[in-house]
Amino acid sequence: MYRIAIAALIACIVGLPVLKADDVKQIDPEHLKPISKLLLEETAKLKELPVKVAHDPEHGVGIEGEKRHLMVVPDAKLTAESIAAVKGNVLPVGTLFLNRVTIVVAGEGLAQDKHRTVEIAAKNEKVTVKVMQMAIAKVEGQLVLLVYAGGTTPALVTPLVEVKESQAAPVALDGRTADNKGIELVLTLHGRYRATIPVGPQD
């Protein structure tokens, strides 16, 4: 059953027609659990990661649109209280996995050679997935989300704002089309904090 679930999700990742061009939808969390474990096994092999994340694969969330896929596996220790307590420290949030997508920095998609990646396989298919760790810091009194790509300094810094929503899961991920070429990720943490991450296609 485990292998069947992985094969089914990999088939989705490598590009079966799933959505209309302007559509974004949630991926069933149960489908994400086996692929989360597979991605985390490969991520653990990467060296010199900037953030020490204690992943919680049971609470991964993901979205798909235009045959492109994004997924977040949160840190198991992330709470609304730990976010509120951030001062001089950097708080791990989790890891963002991207397939055929990258973050947009200063209006441009991040270059291919600026990423950390892992490769996963199912049957005869191999898929390269970008790995971006995320953390929270406080800069000039403002909470910000740090997104790390291939280096040890953040590739993207975006504001983390307070919200008040009912949310059972530690992390919620949504998306909206920013223009004809890109998607904006909306990341909500424990229903209390939210950040927006600009992304764009990258094949």
Task: State how far the Cα of 45 lies from the Cα of 115, in Å rounded to an integer.
Answer: 15
Span 41-97, pLDDT tens digits: 999 999 999 999 999 999 999 998 877 889 999 999 999 999 999 999 999 999 999
Domain that holds residue 184: 2-201
Q: How many domains does the chain have?
A: 1
**pLDDT given at position 22:** 53
Task: State how far the Cα of 70 lies from the Cα of 26, in Å rounded to an integer.
Answer: 10
**pLDDT given at position 176:** 76
Q: Is the pTM value of this prediction over 0.85?
A: yes
Taking the CA atoms of 62, 186, 42 and 126 in sequence, report the sign of the dihedral they define. Answer: positive
pLDDT band at 8 (very low <50, low <70, confident <90, very high): very low
Name which of 98, 87, 90, 92 is nearest 52 in CA terms: 92
Burial letters 33-42, b for 16+ CB under 10 A, else e:
bbbbbbbbee
Classify residue 17 by burial, with Cβ atoms within 10 Å: 0-12, 13-18, 19+: exposed
Please give the structure tokens belonging to residue 13: 């990742």
CA distances from 118 to 37, 41, 145 (A): 13, 10, 23
Please give the mean pLDDT across all residues of the chain: 87
Q: How many residues does the chain have?
A: 203
**pLDDT given at position 181:** 57
Classify residue 150 by burial, with Cβ atoms within 10 Å: 0-12, 13-18, 19+: middle
**pLDDT given at position 178:** 66
Q: Which residue has the higher pLDDT, 12 or 146?
A: 146
Our CA angle for 50, 52, 55, nearest 5°, is 125
**Quick one: what percent of the chain has pLDDT higher than 90?**
71
Span 158-180, pLDDT tens digits: 999 999 999 999 999 998 766 64
What average pLDDT does range 6-33 have in this prediction? 59
**pLDDT given at position 16:** 33
